[in-house]
Amino acid sequence: MKFGHEYEQVLASEGFPEQWLNSAIDYKYLKKCIKKVHRQLLALGLDGETLSHLSGWVEQPDFKVKPLQHHDYYSAAQPDLNTISEEFTPQLRILVDAQTGQPLDATLTPETKATLQGLAQHEMILAGRKEHLGTRIEPVDESESGSDSHGTPKDRVSSITELPADARWVQVPLASAQRFFDLLAPKLEDLEALRAAETRKLEEEILDLGDAVENVVEPVREGFEAKREISYRDLYFWREMFRLYLESPIFYSESEQNRGPLTFAKAKERLEAYDKQLRETGLLSKMKTPAARQAAKQFLDLNVDILKIMHFQEVNARAMVKILKKFDKQTHLEGRLFLKSLRDKYPELVPPEGSKKIVPSGFANSIARDLHAEIASKILAIVPQLDDWNCPVCYAMAWRPVSLGCCRSVFCIRCIIKLQDEGMKRCPCCNKETVMSADGRNIDFETMDFLEKYFPLEVKRRQKENEKAQLVRDYGEEFVKPSCTVM
Amino acid sequence: MSAPLPKRIIKETERLQNEPVPGISAQPHDDNARYFDVMVEGPGGSCYEGGVFNLELFLPDDYPMCPPRIRFLTRIYHPNIDRLGRICLDVLKNNWSPALQIRTILLSIQALLGAPNPEDPLNEAVAKQWKENQSEAIETAREWTKLYAQKN
Ligand SMILES: [Zn+2]
Ligand SMILES: [Zn+2]
């Protein structure tokens, strides 16, 4: 399917809000503009072949686009633009022989060509322009050779003398090209504004939802002790719901091999898989309180909303890349300056120069990254996960929690006892010799309260294990074997 | 009947499977979950580049109070690895900490391939060669890699 068609279809069928659609890139119309540029060039006898043949002798049009580089129109650095402040039209400048109307390269002898080839091109253009305009012009330094272009006047005169006396710059206004960029540039502004506004809105939603989740899972709120059983169970459902989410985050890959924001297609796939998991495990229907169910639904809706704006932004970014490529291909005029200013303004949107890789997701990328971080810190973090409270030695919950005081690690008391029994003096995490001096005073009561509150079931289980282990340590393996428990 | 597998070993194995380290794999035996077949790729830019080295790794009963036992099965020309494939690496000996894992140990071994240390040799002959004529030693390591450490 042709992209233009696919694009129209996505815009029409995905239920994007009217306000978004107003910011969408008008792909069809831009395509028409390109055709016009193409026709205009043809009418001047400048087909693609001729243009590329002339490449060294044609000055690329200046694609100054008002909303992007407004101030450049009045900039002293580009004095030749001072006179055309309001009605600026990109111009194609071709150096021709004033006598014959031939482009210069066609009339030049091979010898002259060779001599001129050695001279810097922009130097030539500047010299030619200076002569033609008859005004003093400081070099406009677009290239890297800043010092060269400020060479002595003598140098410059010498390059003029190399030019045939009747060389003239012919200026070809390209109104249709201006139309193209005038249409495209404000759309990008709109898309960026839309991204900022939607991100803000979704961040608000995330904060609200965070509050709701906090209310639902807070296990021992004052005055709610009677309901404790219920909210404990909901806490566990939420924990499982978030654990599944963290295992395969929707918008961002945390894996070591490819960390980074995901594309719309990938995110969609993950959200569908997540939704399926939730339905299969029946987590949503198991939730006890209506508030918990409501919040869970809100959580899913939030993800759907993020996906939607990602989709819209991504498809627009693709439209932009495609239409710029088309412009280059059909007009043989490179939109280089336009791309450069785009790159400065929206580094997210346009890959760095020289990079062949096109990032098709555009603003969608930053949406995915930013909102993933927001969800993680403002919602998921509310329900602590067991993995974050594991003892670094046995990987089970750090119960009873012991802090050695040398670093922030929290170990389970059994592992510390084991380390002491083995005579391993160093803290497993920071290597300081703190193990042997640990005793009852090293029990971390704050962490203990926290674990009892958020992991009541695990704490009970670990407590039993610890008691058994203590018996084994005190009386030997035989004592706790089932066959010996008849007492 | 052997004791049930500690939670720690189960979790480490799971993570090695689900989030493999690039250039490293560790597969437990079906009949002994404490015994792993390990594969380490020679690091890019080293004289072991392009080589695929097989190792065996065993987790003793005391693990993680003691380090895993590990040795090269593929022949390798390296000053810190002897002819039996034993490895001279501080984290496998005195600097072992129970907070280290199979994963981190294998990464250390891969790093050791990238930075041979002839000043702390296990294989005296190789270390001597390494110190006296480094370019020749590196060339030999390259040859051995081609000879013994090719896939399949
Ligand atoms: Zn522990
Ligand atoms: Zn420590």
**ipTM of predicted assembly, 2 dp:** 0.87
Over 90: is that where the pLDDT of A376 sits? Answer: yes
DSSP letter for A103, please: B
Phi first, then psi, for residue A319 (nearest 5°) are -60, -40
CA atoms of B137 and B47, how far apart (whole Å)? 10
Supply the pLDDT for residue A429: 95
Residues A105-121 as b/e (b if ≥16 CB within 10 A, e otherwise) read: beebeeeeeeebeeeee
- Residue of chain B whose alpha carbon sits nearest to that of A425: B97
Average pLDDT over residues A105-110: 36
Average pLDDT over residues A232-255: 89
Location of structure tokens 């198991």: A286
Say how many Å lie between the CA of residue A412 and the centre of ligand 1.
4
Average pLDDT over residues A60-85: 38
From the list B142, B78, B138, the residue with the least C-alpha distance to B113 is B78
Over 90: is that where the pLDDT of B152 sits? Answer: no
Supply the pLDDT for residue A398: 93
Query: At what angle are helices A228-247 and A175-217 packed, to 10 degrees?
Result: 150
**Chain A residues within 8 A of B64 when measuring between CB atoms:** 393-394
Place A242 in a pLDDT band, splitting at 50, 70 and 90. Answer: very high
Tokens for A46, please give them.
């400048």
From the list A359, A354, A251, the residue with the least C-alpha distance to A314 is A359
Q: Nearest Cβ partner of A428 from B21, B22, B97? A: B97
Over 50: is that where the pLDDT of A381 sits? Answer: yes
What's the half-sphere exposure (Cβ side, CA atoms, 13 Å) at B67? 19
Over 60: is that where the pLDDT of A360 sits? Answer: no
**Is residue A400 reached through a cis peptide bond, with omega within 30 degrees of 0 on the bond before it?**
yes
A285 lies in the same domain as A302: yes
Over 70: is that where the pLDDT of A279 sits? Answer: yes
Amino acid at residue number A477: E
Supply the pLDDT for residue A38: 84
A151 lies in the same domain as A189: no
| Residue of B57, B59, B88, B102 marked catalytic | B88
From the list A211, A216, A220, A376, the residue with the least C-alpha distance to A287 is A216
Q: Nearest Cβ partner of B97 from A257, A394, A426? A: A426
A59 lies in the same domain as A71: yes
What is residue B83's three-state secondary structure? coil
Of all residues in chain A, the percent with pLDDT exceeding 70 is 62
Say how many Å lie between the CA of residue A336 and the centre of ligand 1.
61
Over 70: is that where the pLDDT of A133 sits? Answer: no
pLDDT digits (tens, 9 = 90+) for B92-140: 998 999 999 999 999 999 999 999 998 888 888 898 999 999 999 999 9
- Residue of chain A whose alpha carbon sits nearest to that of B95: A431
Of all residues in chain A, the percent with pLDDT exceeding 90 is 36
Say how many Å lie between the CA of residue B95 and the centre of ligand 1.
19
Supply the pLDDT for residue A332: 66
Over 50: is that where the pLDDT of A86 sits? Answer: no
Location of structure tokens 């001072």: A82
Strands of the A167-173 sheet, one edge to the other: A58-59, A91-97, A167-173
DSSP strand E in A51-137: where?
Answer: 58-59, 91-97
A442 lies in the same domain as A462: yes
DSSP letter for A295, please: H
CA atoms of B122 and B118, how far apart (whole Å)? 9
Other CB atoms within 10 A of residue A145 CB: 14
Give the domain ranges of chain B: 7-148
Over 80: is that where the pLDDT of A323 sits? Answer: yes
Average pLDDT over residues A23-35: 91
Which of A362, A383, A404 is the endpoint of a domain?
A383
| Domain total in chain A | 3
From the list A316, A318, A345, A334, the residue with the least C-alpha distance to A68 is A345
Other CB atoms within 10 A of residue A453 CB: 15
Place A92 in a pLDDT band, splitting at 50, 70 and 90. Answer: low
Task: Determine the residue among A387, A393, A397, A416 to mutate to test chain B binding: the one whose Cβ has the most chain B Cβ atoms within 10 Å.
Answer: A393
Place A82 in a pLDDT band, splitting at 50, 70 and 90. Answer: very low
Q: What is the mean pLDDT of chain A?
A: 74
Over 60: is that where the pLDDT of A126 sits? Answer: no
Distances (CA, A) of A245 to A89, A214, A267, A340: 53, 17, 12, 39
A264 lies in the same domain as A400: no
The pocket of ion ligand 2, defined by CB under 5 A, consists of A 406-407, 427, 429-430
Identify which has the larger pLDDT, A60 or A11: A11
Tokens for A226, please give them.
């009677």
A404 lies in the same domain as A286: no
Over 90: is that where the pLDDT of A258 sits? Answer: no
| Whether residue B88 lies in the annotated active site | yes
| Element at B53 (helix H, strand E) | strand B52-58
Span of A155-169, A270-284, A457-471 with lowest mean pLDDT: A155-169
pLDDT digits (tens, 9 = 90+) for A144-194: 333 333 333 333 333 343 455 556 555 556 777 778 888 888 888 888 899
Which of A126, A145, A173 is the endpoint of a domain?
A173
CA atoms of B128 and B138, how far apart (whole Å)? 12
Kindly state whether residue A132 falls inside one of the protein's structural domains.
yes
Place A97 in a pLDDT band, splitting at 50, 70 and 90. Answer: low
A112 lies in the same domain as A193: no
Domain B7-148 CATH (choose: 2.102.10.10, 3.10.110.10, 3.40.50.920, 3.30.420.40): 3.10.110.10
pLDDT digits (tens, 9 = 90+) for B63-92: 999 999 999 999 999 999 999 999 999 999
Place A217 in a pLDDT band, splitting at 50, 70 and 90. Answer: confident
CA atoms of B40 and B26, how far apart (whole Å)? 9
Identify which has the larger pLDDT, A224 or A196: A196
Tokens for B136, please give them.
């020749």
Supply the pLDDT for residue A353: 52
Identify which has the larger pLDDT, A85 or A445: A445
What's the half-sphere exposure (Cβ side, CA atoms, 13 Å) at A330? 19
Kindly state whether residue A487 falls inside one of the protein's structural domains.
no
The overall longest dimension of chain A from CA atoms, in Å, is 121
Over 50: is that where the pLDDT of A265 sits? Answer: yes
Other CB atoms within 10 A of residue B32 CB: 11
Supply the pLDDT for residue A392: 96
Supply the pLDDT for residue A220: 57
Which of A150, A173, A196 is the endpoint of a domain?
A173
pLDDT digits (tens, 9 = 90+) for A390-440: 999 999 999 899 999 999 999 999 999 999 999 999 999 999 999 999 999
Expressed as residue numbers, the domain containing A62 is 44-173
Distances (CA, A) of A184 to A339, A395, A477: 12, 56, 78
- The answer to whether the Cβ–Cβ distance between B21 and A415 falls below 8 Å is no
In chain A, % helix, strand, coil (3-state, to 5) comes to 65, 5, 30
**Is residue A318 reached through a cis peptide bond, with omega within 30 degrees of 0 on the bond before it?**
no
Identify which has the larger pLDDT, A72 or A361: A361
Kindly state whether residue A183 falls inside one of the protein's structural domains.
yes
